[in-house]
Structure 1
């Protein structure tokens, strides 16, 4: 039996999906787009956009990317100056890299 995406989310994940939906709706309204306008520009169906604005986590990730790109918000997710990403990358610089010994039995 297939589990719906909504039921597989943690409460924090569900809250994030709701937040994305609110941000999407607010950005659309701030730019003066109607739902049909944005749906057409983002190449998604109107019903998909309505679900996205409602915070439906079952919507394909590519649909979210299309909508945020049309609204000029894609950089919000791809900003290379993200302090968390930089701190994780810097912390990993000093970690030793494990060198593996070649397998003696290479006969397949």
Structure 2
């Protein structure tokens, strides 16, 4: 009887771990650090994004694995774009293409990240 009780407890504990929400493996600060090398391109002082910028965009894509991660990354990217008033919207939206890193959401000050 004790073995059955122990097995039930183990199974319940495993089920609890499976349904417990997890926190994203990245933060807004992580996304900011990835995009800081892009600022000269985003404000128009550079005509092409630096390789370090494109590396940052690749890192953002790699951090956002699940749908919820992608929504969170989208929100962080939107927050980053809104921190600087002089970010050019066309440069921001075209950044993933310029870097050859397709994202499932555009980089934009006005994106709705809930969809």
Q: Same fold, TM exceeding 0.5? A: no
**TM-score of the superposed pair, with normalisation by structure 1:** 0.28
Structure with the bigger percentage of helix: 2
**TM-score of the superposed pair, with normalisation by structure 2:** 0.26
